[in-house]
Amino acid sequence: MEEQLAVIKTIQPYFVMGTSRFYQYILGKHGISHFYSYEMDKEGLGGAVVPDGCVDIIFEYGQGALRARVCGTVLRHKFIPSELQKTYFGVRFFPGVCPSIIDGKLNEFVDREILFSEVAKSVHLLEKMSEAHTFPERIHTFLAEYKRNLSLEESSSNMGRLLKAMKSIIYGTNGEIRIKDIEKHTGYSTRYINKIFNAELGINPKKFCLIIKFQRFLDHLHGAKAEDIAKLAVDYGYCDQANLIKEFTKFTNMTPGKYYRMIQELGYNDRVINYSQDDSLNGNYIFETNKTKGSRCTPCVK
């Protein structure tokens, strides 16, 4: 399922629009979707989050201090206070995955932020992260400690295997599947499926499907032309314009048309700097933007 999950990269667009440079490195394994880092420099836009079905661990660097939070998915558009001139380093996990480095279940984090120190299994991670000063250093530091806590608990029980299978079905259909169809695939009743999702993820399967569908539409919207939006909406299961506007506005606080115009006017894609690791370069990173391809560097994000 990891290979399938690797293409389900969720987006928090207001993080990108709250900064001039948004760094990201897509891992796509060990339950981790990607790492990201940015410094808030645009007042207003950066304090909003949208539903993504994910848990993020966010490290906040500023004024010689480090603060870390575990942030669960929100269920609708929401403003969360953030500070200018602070650097944020985040680890986003796959939708529906609870990181093994924290003590708890996903249902405990839905629509909540909890201090990492209150739920961390690793007592040394915060100290080590405070000594990492660049984006690659922070990635390596986190991964080294995280891999010590990797767990197979989710797939070891019957309930864990069933939940994993159901999530795989939802990912494979981009969230465009009815619960009755999941019932047919698994042989379990709708009531039992709802029970598992609520107990383990903290949200029902219908809501989880809506979030996955929204995130896939959102991802493709960033690379679409204005005249393609209507077709894109149909491709991702929005039955009509009213349905699309209702769901999209609930999750982003604006209509698809207004959102599209905003990301075009603000140059969203030009703010994103993607990193990939070149093993032949002994751990160096290659970064690329829409303007620059294949530049080598060891970026300093302080």
Each residue's pLDDT tens digit, 130-178: 999 999 999 999 999 999 877 644 455 778 889 989 999 999 999 999 9
Tell me whether residue 51 is in a domain: yes
Q: Are residues 20 and 136 in the same domain?
A: yes
Q: Are residues 162 and 218 in the same domain?
A: yes
Summarize pLDDT for 65-111 with one digit per residue, the tens. Answer: 899 999 999 999 998 877 777 899 999 999 999 998 999 999 999 99
Tell me whether residue 259 is in a domain: no
Q: Are residues 140 and 159 in the same domain?
A: no
pLDDT at residue 213 is higher than 70: yes
Distance CA 106, CA 168 (A): 17
Q: Are residues 130 and 275 in the same domain?
A: yes
Amino acid identity for residue 233 in this structure: A
Q: Are residues 86 and 198 in the same domain?
A: no
- Parent domain of 85: 2-151+269-297
Amino acid identity for residue 138 in this structure: R
Q: What pLDDT was estimated at residue 270?
A: 93
Q: What pLDDT was estimated at residue 83?
A: 78
**Token pair in block for residue 59:** 């490290």
CA distances from 209 to 13, 75, 121, 246 (A): 20, 12, 30, 16
- HEC secondary structure over 97-160: CCCCCECCCHHHCCCCEEEHHHHECCCCHHHHHHCCCCHHHHHHHHHHHHHHHCCCHHHHCHHH
Q: What pLDDT was estimated at residue 226?
A: 85
pLDDT at residue 281 is higher than 70: no
Q: What pLDDT was estimated at residue 43?
A: 54
What is the tally of structural domains in the chain? 2
- For range 250-276, the mean pLDDT: 93
Q: Are residues 164 and 130 in the same domain?
A: no
Q: Are residues 49 and 115 in the same domain?
A: yes
Q: Are residues 200 and 145 in the same domain?
A: no
Query: Which CATH number covers residue 241?
Result: 1.10.10.60
Q: Are residues 52 and 95 in the same domain?
A: yes
Q: Are residues 62 and 138 in the same domain?
A: yes
Which segments of the chain does DSSP mark as H helices, in order?
2-5, 13-16, 116-119, 125-130, 135-146, 153-156, 158-172, 179-186, 190-200, 205-221, 229-235, 241-252, 256-265, 268-271
pLDDT at residue 227 is higher than 70: yes
Tell me whether residue 104 is in a domain: yes
CB 66 within 8 A of CB 126: yes
* pTM for this entry: 0.89
Phi, psi dihedrals of residue 25, rounded to the nearest 5°: -135, 115
Q: Are residues 77 and 26 in the same domain?
A: yes
Phi, psi dihedrals of residue 301, rounded to the nearest 5°: -120, 95
Tell me whether residue 263 is in a domain: no
Distance CA 211, CA 250 (A): 11
- For range 187-209, the mean pLDDT: 95
Summarize pLDDT for 32-62 with one digit per residue, the tens. Answer: 999 999 998 865 566 789 999 999 999 999 8
CA angle 69–212–159, rounded 5-degree value: 80
**Token pair in block for residue 178:** 């009815």
CB 94 within 8 A of CB 33: yes
CB 81 within 8 A of CB 43: no
Q: Are residues 181 and 165 in the same domain?
A: yes
CB 17 within 8 A of CB 46: yes
